[in-house]
Structure 1
Amino acid sequence: MIGLGYVVEFFSNIYSKFIIIPDNLFLKFTLLCVAFIIIGIGLSLYYTANLGLAPYDCLPIILSEKTKFEFGTCMVLLLLISIILFIHLISVVSDILNTV
């Protein structure tokens, strides 16, 4: 999710030029309901793809299908790699902050 803030800000600036936010509470509620329907359709399409509930869950499924390892083994290996990378990232960030 690196750079997600930049992407959100970029598209927010684009959307703010084309979408007028209404002052009327009824129109705001209507837009909210439309947004819920769109999000619901997107989530239902994602869940029916049978790839897991999060992108993080998809990688062990794909690895278990492509290799001889079982899903549980792939999941544990992915979690261990994630923990090791996170610990390394914390040490790198703390070193950078200490030099500043």
Structure 2
Amino acid sequence: MPSGNENGEGGVSDGQKRIYHRKVTPEVEEANRSLLRLVANLENCELTDLPPLYDQIDHLIEHLFSSPPPPEAQVEVEFSYYGYRIELDQSGNVSLMKLATASESTE
């Protein structure tokens, strides 16, 4: 599948589902913000328009990057946020699958 970057490049349309592949820098200080930037870019909105990520997954992403398991563990986290199913691995690879529009996900 095509890959892309944080600026909204690289996506695949599979019928109604859209899957986007991105890469974030796996740094503790920027982990949540980088992921939120990806969603904001895909939704064409500001970061401040999105609900807080910590309400959904607390500090899970920060913990993944603060003391990552060995590479051979191949750890991935998967969760839903703002109409996306998000998969993130310990190397910073992100897949975002559009499940619903943002307005549908907040109803």
Normalised-by-shorter TM-score class = under 0.3
> Of Structure 1 and Structure 2, which has the larger fraction of its residues in helix?
1
> Of Structure 1 and Structure 2, which has the larger fraction of its residues in strand?
2
Q: Please give the TM-score of this superposition, normalised by the length of structure 1.
A: 0.21
Higher Rg: 1
Higher relative contact order (CA 8 A, sep 6+): 2
